[in-house]
Amino acid sequence: MFYDALEPRRSRRDQLVIQAWHGFPIEASGVLRKGSTFKENVSHVSNVIENVDFILSYSKMFNLLFNACFPSNSSKYALTGMPRNDFLFRPKEEALTKFKKLTGFDFKDKKIILFCPSKKISKESVLDIVENILKAKLLERTNSALLIKSDGILEDLFSSNGDNRISFLNEKILRENMTDVYECLAAVDVLVTDQSSMAYDWLLTDKPIVYYIPSYEKIENPLVEPLEDWLPGEIVFDVKGLIVNLERFLMESFIPDDKYIWLKGMVHHFQDGNSCERVIEFLHQYYEKGSE
Amino acid sequence: MSKPRVVLLISNLAGSNTWALYKYYLKHYSGDLEILPVFENELQNNSEVVNEAKIIVTTFIPIKARKDQVCIQTWHGFPIKSLGILDDVDRNDVDYLTRMIELSDFWLSYSATYTTIINACFPHLVENYLLTGMPRNDFLFTDKSFAVQKLSTLIGLSAEELMFKRLILYCPTYRSTLRRKDSQISANDLYELINSRIFLDYLETSQTLLVVKLHPFEEHIASNLERSSKNIFLLRNSDLLLNKIDLYEFLPAFDLLVTDFSSIYFDWLLLNKPIVFFVPDLYSYSKLRDFLLSPLDFWMPGVKCKTVEELIEAVENSLRKDEFKKDRERLKRVVHHYQDGLSCKRVFSAMEEIINANIRPPQIHIKYCEGLFLPTYSERSLF
């Protein structure tokens, strides 16, 4: 049984439960979450710890961060890299084809900005960002397209816009097409996000990231400090900074800076597209050992 | 009414957080706590003193004479080596882990980064941590001339003589104990390497005094070693105890630190001076002990050298060009939330808050249960 969410369950004692988790953690959870003294959290944390046989790991740093929140011993970590990150190494053409299928747009001749806001950024803020990008004519000037991963509400706001440089992806479209958003990432030129986990995965692409957060307080209870050293990419706090940096990244060639390089090394032990293969190999070895 | 008693347990004077608290108490504290230092080797003769304490502050294994006492763990450094439940040797020592986890009510912390790393090894709840900085690091904010004076007392050279010398401190971590063997080479081997003719000649021509301080676990080796050159001084724990001076009190006297995987270098970052890593056994150490942190180039900001020739070159380059300054500054930000020399003050404030019940340990504890450490709810009354 593979899980990528919070509470793994076992329906039979002899099942093997593997936690793949859902990203490189930067905010505290489990026993390090503030307010963890609440009784309900105790059983939740215990379930995450007790019901897992192995945890897929990015790197030693992942082991530390995860173990600080959900304590286990070192033998539970399987250093394989994350399966979803294999998609980042797929050919760009393949990802463009997926985009076309999902959105109906052909972005072949354009640079693509993917904007993945988390729930911490309000709908109004997202709307404000998009309107400012349009007002600044950034997409025309840089021959780019803006793809927004949203929860389905924003589309209505833009339905009458008719702009063929803006498109949307939401969970419903992805599910209907049995496609994960990571399958499209190889076609993206610049990522804009405030979600740490996607930004950390994105480091594997050696492409630019604009990390948009209105303030550091939005990162509650961080596991490391200072945040300016640990958040990947160019950190911007307002729409103006976002547009300036997007233009720079779209017009100039990108050379990863020191922070980008060391964060990539810290987060990703493996920097290839073979994580799924390693997970399968891990399972083979586990069952071979068991049958001996 | 008697003042609430705090016992400071002191293991050694090789970077003791509890000694630093005691010195602060003598010089600056005017509050309502009664502070009593107890050296760990004299613990048995002081059982009454410990029994009547409300708070016990430790640097290693936590102890309690009564259940209603509060134990504050200051630990003895920012870790790079595998430790606790993430270490294969510690993991099998359930008694040790249980004591470390169940008896420490509060841990002093350098930063959010440190809290996370320690918690991955010795799990607690976030409420168990006190972000104060480390008491011993307050010594690093003292004036260099004052530190040279202290060093002069210890090694028998005048402060004037020392001022004209290049001063280098060599602090290797331990290589083996009764419980574990972390490397294929020994502390003796390391000592022999720095006593090689080429290195002794280098010390002479560069007018350098090398002070060697072995890890307290390998102090027994130090007692068998002879002083081989006027340019090398082997500092023993007994020298520190006799003079009642902690190693950290004279760290600002040195121009450069040579070390390996010892936590001293994380503290040294506060001095903004170069570090050289002398690690002839980097490979075997990583196999036998392993590191919590990776990549080492980020976490060890200095030249890593394996031979004495490389060591000489690295020392020269580091003192001339200091190419790792930026890397050290970055790591300093990651390790040290406070960079101000006021950690003792924050710890005393926290202890007063604990006594006044404004800060309490959480009612959830991490408990050992069938091979796992799990959060468990239990009420506990204090004092």
User: Hey, how many other C-beta atoms are within 10 angstroms of the C-beta on B342?
Assistant: 16
Nearest to A49, CA basis, from B294, B117, B362, B85: B85
How far B165 CA sits from the closest chain A CA (Å)?
36
Average pLDDT over residues A67-94: 96
Residue of B nearest to A259 (CA): B330
Tell me how far apart the alpha carbons of residues A36 and A42 are, in angstroms, rounded to a whole number. Answer: 7
Chain A residues whose beta carbon lies within 8 Å of the beta carbon of residue B113: 223-225
The answer to whether A220 faces chain B, any CB pair under 8 Å, is no
The CA angle B85-B88-B89, to the nearest 5 degrees, is 100
User: Hey, how many other C-beta atoms are within 10 angstroms of the C-beta on B249?
Assistant: 27
pLDDT confidence tier of residue A38, bands split at 50, 70 and 90: low
| pLDDT tens, residue by residue, A149-165 | 886 666 666 654 566 78
Of the partner residues B88, B120, B372, the one whose CB lies closest to the CB of residue A50: B372
pTM of the model: 0.95
For strand B372-377 and strand A209-212, is the pairing parallel, antiparallel, or unpaired?
A: unpaired
pLDDT given for residue A36 in this prediction: 61
Residues within 8 A of A (CB atoms), B 8-67 only:
none
DSSP-derived 3-state class of residue A66: helix
Query: Of the given ranges (A73-82, A216-225, B206-215, B315-324), which has the lowest mean pLDDT?
Result: A216-225
- Ranges of residues in chain B with a pLDDT under 50 are none
Q: Is A37–B85 a contact, with Cβ atoms under 8 angstroms apart?
A: no
pLDDT given for residue B260 in this prediction: 96
Residues within 8 A of B (CB atoms), A 92-131 only:
none
Of the partner residues A32, A63, A269, the one whose CB lies closest to the CB of residue B126: A32
The answer to whether A265 faces chain B, any CB pair under 8 Å, is yes
Percent of chain A with pLDDT over 90: 66
pLDDT given for residue A158 in this prediction: 63
pLDDT given for residue B337 in this prediction: 98
The answer to whether A31 faces chain B, any CB pair under 8 Å, is yes
Of the partner residues A42, A68, A226, the one whose CB lies closest to the CB of residue B116: A68
pLDDT given for residue B229 in this prediction: 87
pLDDT confidence tier of residue A119, bands split at 50, 70 and 90: confident
Count of residues in chain A = 292
Dihedral sign of CA atoms B185, B191, B194, B197 in order: negative
Tell me how far apart the alpha carbons of residues B169 and B382 are, in angstroms, rounded to a whole number. Answer: 44
Q: Is A223–B291 a contact, with Cβ atoms under 8 angstroms apart?
A: no
Question: Taking the CA atoms of chain B, what radius of gyration do you get in angstroms?
Answer: 21
The answer to whether B292 faces chain A, any CB pair under 8 Å, is yes
Specify the DSSP class assigned to residue A273.
Answer: S
Look at the block and give the residue holding tokens 């724990």: B237
Give the list of residues 6+ apart from residue B365 with CB closer than 8 angstroms, or none.
Answer: B102, B125, B375, B376, B378
Nearest to B162, CA basis, from B207, B229, B206, B205: B207
pLDDT given for residue A281 in this prediction: 97
Average pLDDT over residues A159-186: 85
Alpha helices in chain B (DSSP H): 17-28, 47-51, 88-91, 94-103, 112-121, 144-155, 159-163, 187-194, 197-205, 219-222, 237-243, 264-268, 282-288, 296-299, 308-320, 325-335, 343-355
Count of residues in chain B = 383
**ipTM for the complex shown:** 0.94
How far A239 CA sits from the closest chain B CA (Å)?
28
Checking if the pLDDT of A112 tops 80, the result is yes
List, in sequence order, every residue forming a beta bridge with A115; answer none if it has no partner: A148, A192
